[in-house]
Amino acid sequence: MAAPLLTLITFLPALAGLALAPLKAEKGAIVRWVALGVSLAVLVLAGIVWMGFDPKGDAIQFRESHVWIHSPYLMPAIRYTVGVDGISLAMIALTTFLMPLA
């Protein structure tokens, strides 16, 4: 099974932010360095997605789909689904490139 790259790109910055939130103001330098490291790691993950993307493909690529909430009775389950097409790949690349510069 392939690594869940899109999920990591999406939630790694949020998890790092939650982990760094309780730190005191005196630890500002540490917070900045960790934030830079996480944003560079996300940039590397986006580069892996960019290199693995097939521009000739017409379907959503790097698709991840997981049942999030099982629904009782005959209702459909609630799912978490992400994927990349051409325009969303450009938006991921732009966002992850700008994050370390911020």
> What is d(CA 87, CA 102) in angstroms, rounded to the nearest whole number?
23
Q: What is the token pair recorded at 50? A: 């960019």
Question: In the prediction, which pLDDT does 8 show?
Answer: 95
What's the pTM?
0.86
What is the chain's mean pLDDT, rounded? 91
- Could you say which DSSP state residue 75 is in? S
Domain boundary assignment for the chain: 5-54+84-98
pLDDT, tens only, 28-72: 889 999 999 999 999 999 999 999 999 998 889 999 999 988 888
> What is d(CA 63, CA 65) in angstroms, rounded to the nearest whole number?
7
